[in-house]
Structure 1
């Protein structure tokens, strides 16, 4: 198993994982997903098997995060315009883990990698919108609900805006 940067050859696998995981709303199209990646490619990655592991072929999980300029999360289904992926905090747009990888701890590993990257890049916090009952997972990862914050209706009824304030690491 390896966690690697996203490249142009992986989008079909990423979309396959997305379609498998999200059942409360329509998956985003490839152009929208790619726009998140293009906004901050060093904050986006996949977990995948080695080519010699036929039991779990291909991409098992992906994470997309990008710099964001507002405390209000971006809406689903809207691409990030070129140059708009800038700002004072990181927005974790999507973490999806295939059922084929259940119990492997890939979600935790990918979030920990993102936290390290965010600290090194000097972000003060990471925000996200928890969906499909994922608030308990995000709490375990150190995220807390943002009082009074609301996400776009596109995220569904149970959407919860959450954040983790980052502490700078040493040199």
Structure 2
């Protein structure tokens, strides 16, 4: 897939089966029930994005939502509702198929997620970096927090945050 052929658009309920397949392929060590992504889409549709190529084929997805500063929900956890007094934006998941990587789509979705946080008036963005992703997030201004990542993310996971400019 060429960079010009990929674009981010709002995720739709019809995208969920393909997103689930991508999640299993990209994050095999971090399984989540399909209901988790469906709930995030229902609770915060503006925070759920689909990376599509020609013919609207899904090449990746990103999921974010309002949350609490310095923390993230544990892996494979239904929220029930978003916090009434959110003070951070949580990037819950970003997954791109291998053929979609290296074309700027990941960097583009970071910008889209930061913009969502700003639209919600949230001063911070939080996430958990798994595997070797911490370097990517550092390049985008995220720094590790002293608090540990929730246990469900496994050893080596890093809770990270980035303050938004005032």
Superposition TM-score, scaled by structure 2 size: 0.90
SS of structure 2 residue aligned to 1:65: strand
Q: 1:43 to 1:123 in 2, by over 3 A?
A: same
Paired residue for 1:50, among 40, 47, 54? 54
Q: How does 1:1-171 map to 2 (within 5 A)?
A: 1-25=6-30, 27-51=31-55, 58-69=57-68, 71-84=70-83, 87-146=86-145, 148-168=146-166
The alpha carbon displacement at 1:86 in A equals 5.2
Provide the C-alpha distance between the structure 1 equivalents of 2:141 and 2:95, rounded to a whole number of angstroms.
Answer: 18
Provide the C-alpha distance between the structure 2 equivalents of 1:86 and 1:41, rounded to a whole number of angstroms.
Answer: 18
Query: Aligned-pair RMSD on alpha carbons?
Result: 1.6
Mind listing any 5+ residue stretches in structure 2 that lack a counterpart?
1-5
Counterpart contact for 1:128–1:161, Cα < 8 Å: yes
The alpha carbon displacement at 1:28 in A equals 0.8
Moved over 3 A (4+): 83-86
Q: 1:69 to 1:42 in 2, by over 3 A?
A: same
Provide the C-alpha distance between the structure 1 equivalents of 2:19 and 2:104, rounded to a whole number of angstroms.
Answer: 18
Provide the C-alpha distance between the structure 2 equivalents of 1:105 and 1:69, rounded to a whole number of angstroms.
Answer: 29
Mind listing any 5+ residue stretches in structure 1 that lack a counterpart?
52-56
Q: 1:154 to 1:9 in 2, by over 3 A?
A: same
Q: For 1:110-152, what per-residue CA distance to the aligned partner results, in whole angstroms no more than 9, with x for missing partners?
A: 1111112211221100000000121000001111111x21112
Q: For 1:52-108, what per-residue CA distance to the aligned partner results, in whole angstroms no more than 9, with x for missing partners?
A: xxxxx7111111011113533211111111344751111110001111212111111
Provide the C-alpha distance between the structure 1 equivalents of 2:70 and 2:151, rounded to a whole number of angstroms.
Answer: 16
Q: For 1:10-49, what per-residue CA distance to the aligned partner results, in whole angstroms no more than 9, with x for missing partners?
A: 0111011111111333x21111111222222112101101
Give the stretch that moved more between structures: 123-132 or 57-66. Answer: 57-66
Counterpart contact for 1:72–1:150, Cα < 8 Å: no
